[in-house]
Structure 1
Amino acid sequence: MTLRSLLHSLIATLGVLAATSVLAAAPAVVRIGVATQGYGDPPVFGGSPAATAQLQHLTEDALKPDGVKVEWIFFKGAGPAVNEALANRQIDFAYQGDLPAVLGRANGLKTKLLLESGVRTGVYLAVPPDSDIKSVKDLKGKRVAIFRGTNLQLVVDNVLKANGLSERDLRVINLDDAASQAALASKGVDAVFLDFKLFKLQRQGLAKIIYASRDGGLQYTRQAHLLVLDDFEHDHPDIVQKVVTSVVQASQWSSDEANRGALFTLWAKSGVPVESWQSEYANQTLKDRTSPLIDPFIVARYQAVADDALRLNLIRQPVSVNGWFEPKYLDQALKTLKLENYWPRFDPSGKPLAS
């Protein structure tokens, strides 16, 4: 065998080994962390296109032809617990809110934001039915439950600021969703900042909602998204594309007003009644709330969250969102599904952009 033939044979062998190595490296399971406590067995959640994708098994169906299974992992500790799992490489993707993701980025987590999933979501302030608390301003010195470290906290801090208060003016008790509801129902706290779960307590006569942050403007809303670890995105772009496309499909179905009733019935499997979803989405279009788009409003909101987190000493150094969003998978999904112009886009202030 000549030296040239030997080299060609060696190169061919190395090529086969490299291809085999790539195939062997393909994951058997894709792990998606969810920043909420699941409900049921197996656990599910509601309130976002990502939840729709899970409930309709769209992501599983997208990856099944490749022999890749999907594992949804729920975290009672919400965003902070998801960040810990990302740092320990225990999950590949994460569904979480804006503030926890900013905190993770500030602490060196290498991730890419792929699409939005549940946007322009407000928070509510609820008190016991017989409480004399009438407004946010009345919270001074009161025992108030807030789930710190979640995307709810920053909205609350900004609401307090707008009313001349800060967390230091309150007797803040850090409680998760379930504990907050129990404390409010038993009058263990004077007030709770929480989400749509409060509607059920109100219907049961155990709470009274006295404030909705969305009424103050879109700057008092929170955003949620799907992100992926940098390393996973680099190694498995084909899988990332299929996951993103499946969630965009879920976004389209969730955005169709003809599906409003079916959507809320589907999400009710999460333990949140249909009536609560009806109240949460009253007088709002589904497209505005279930859009996956990364538009100027979203980019501006994430940067505002990062800036506010620094101002409130939740992080120690500035965080820039430049280079954090990776829209190519979303763009491809929109093109494939012919949805480029399906959802409205908003400017940084939240006003609709011209088509």
Structure 2
Amino acid sequence: MRILTPVFAFALLLLAACSPGGQNTSAADQAKVVRIASIGYYADGKLNVGGNQTAAVYTRKVLEERLAKRGVTVEWVPISQSLGGPGFNEALASKKVDFAAYGDFPAIIARAGGIPIKLVVPAGRGSNSYLVVPAGSKAQSIEDLKGKSIALQRGRPGELAFNQLISSKGLTRADFKIFNIAADAAASSLAAGQIDAAFIGPAAYLLEDKGVGRVIWSSKGTNWKWRSELFVREDFSRDNPGLTQEVVEGYISAAYWSSQDANREEAQTLISRNGTPLSVVQRDSENDIEWKAKWSPLFDGYMEEHYRDAVAFTSSEKLIPQAFDVKDFFEPKYVEQALKNQKLEGYWTARQGSK
């Protein structure tokens, strides 16, 4: 293992989990190190990386093993949750990382802003958002919160789900008092009675467990998810197609392993290493998408529709200068080849969009 110096002034620390790994290489490949950014967290007295898609890849050293025969090392670059999207985008723009496992909104902003990246491994069917109110609130729905204060972190992936929810009820943001507050601060504000509701992630269950909050809506059973998946710098994939294929192969094999019912609890435990209680990870998966489908890496109509909606929304909100064709944002050939190589064609079922 090798510890790197910090990449950003505001990032956590950089950790290089370098274990050589490998398979056959392409003559065109030039890199001897593959650098992958993901959200960082402390566990077992050290800095690690995680996230639903990356947890099994990182913890089970999938890539280190695959790349060993090639003499190529893996450097995992943790980015702090507080820094989020801008940290990932700076790392990609400055070529300090080759891949990034992060959210749809910041990746769209990067692409629209001229950072040449492409999505190479989709991460299933997306993640859930929750609308939570104080435990003593009489509100039962979003309509009951009209004119009330709601904490919503602007410019983050969950904002699209919020917009889809209120639009479905004939409402707009002008019908509420929106406070742009980060998720952690929103939870504290809700517990302190300073706001009437918060639109956050699975941490909503923690507020229920503490008796200070009550979930009145979630995106379960809807297509209104937010996504976080693996992106690659276009120049890296162009110069290192064999390495890019190997990284994708590793992510596909980890997705297959995670998708099996026999590995469900272990996969959830790996996700919970980031500090999210296992019970929260488990409840977030209940009564929603079928477990196997949760890990689908397919470039299908469902995923394409999500990105069309997300690009249209970020454009309308002036988060990006103009919309772009999402098909130019995708690079499916590596996943297609990995599925063939691992005899997983037909294992996951493609899903069409809802429109």
Q: Given the two structures, how large is their TM-score scaled by the length of structure 2?
A: 0.84
Match among 316, 336, 349 for residue 321 of structure 2: 316
Displacement of 1:255 in angstroms is 0.7
What SS is found at the alignment partner of 1:343? coil
Distance 2:180 2:42 in 1: 22
- The structure where helix makes up a greater share of residues is 1
Identity fraction in percent? 33
Counterpart residue identity of residue 165, structure 1: L
Displacement of 1:118 in angstroms is 4.1
Show the counterpart of 2:12: none
Show the counterpart of 2:133: 127
Q: Deviations 1:263-301 (Å, cap 9, x if unpaired)? A: 222222121122112211113321121111111221222
Distance 2:251 2:139 in 1: 41
Show the counterpart of 2:192: 186
Distance 2:32 2:194 in 1: 47
Match among 298, 314, 332 for residue 327 of structure 1: 332
Distance 1:309 1:267 in 2: 29
Contact 1:121 1:289 in 2 (8 A): no
Mark the CA change 1:22 to 1:263 in structure 2 (over 3 Å): closer, same or farther: closer
Q: Deviations 1:78-106 (Å, cap 9, x if unpaired)? A: 22332232222232111122222222222
Distance 2:290 2:305 in 1: 22
Mark the CA change 1:82 to 1:138 in structure 2 (over 3 Å): closer, same or farther: farther
Show the counterpart of 2:263: 259
Distance 1:241 1:22 in 2: 13
Counterpart residue identity of residue 113, structure 1: L
Displacement of 1:248 in angstroms is 0.5
Match among 339, 344, 347 for residue 344 of structure 2: 339
Match among 234, 249, 257 for residue 253 of structure 2: 249
**Structure 1 position 295 matched with structure 2 position 326:** no
Show the counterpart of 2:92: 86
Q: Extract unaligned runs of 5+ from structure 2.
A: 1-26
Mark the CA change 1:45 to 1:206 in structure 2 (over 3 Å): closer, same or farther: farther
Match among 253, 278, 287 for residue 274 of structure 1: 278
Counterpart residue identity of residue 252, structure 1: Y
What SS is found at the alignment partner of 2:67? helix
Displacement of 1:22 in angstroms is 7.5
Counterpart residue identity of residue 253, structure 1: W
Structure-to-structure mapping, 1:161-200, within 5 angstroms: 161-200=167-206
**Structure 1 position 32 matched with structure 2 position 36:** yes
Contact 1:75 1:82 in 2 (8 A): no
Distance 2:167 2:348 in 1: 33
Q: Extract unaligned runs of 5+ from structure 1.
A: 1-20, 351-355
**Structure 1 position 154 matched with structure 2 position 160:** yes
Displacement of 1:252 in angstroms is 0.4
**Bigger shift: 164-173 or 87-96?**
164-173
Distance 1:22 1:300 in 2: 34
Q: Given the two structures, how large is their TM-score scaled by the length of structure 1?
A: 0.84
Q: How many residues align?
A: 324
Distance 2:187 2:312 in 1: 30
Show the counterpart of 1:209: 215
RMSD across aligned C-alpha pairs, in angstroms?
Answer: 2.2
**Structure 1 position 54 matched with structure 2 position 58:** yes
- The structure where strand makes up a greater share of residues is 2
What SS is found at the alignment partner of 2:215? strand
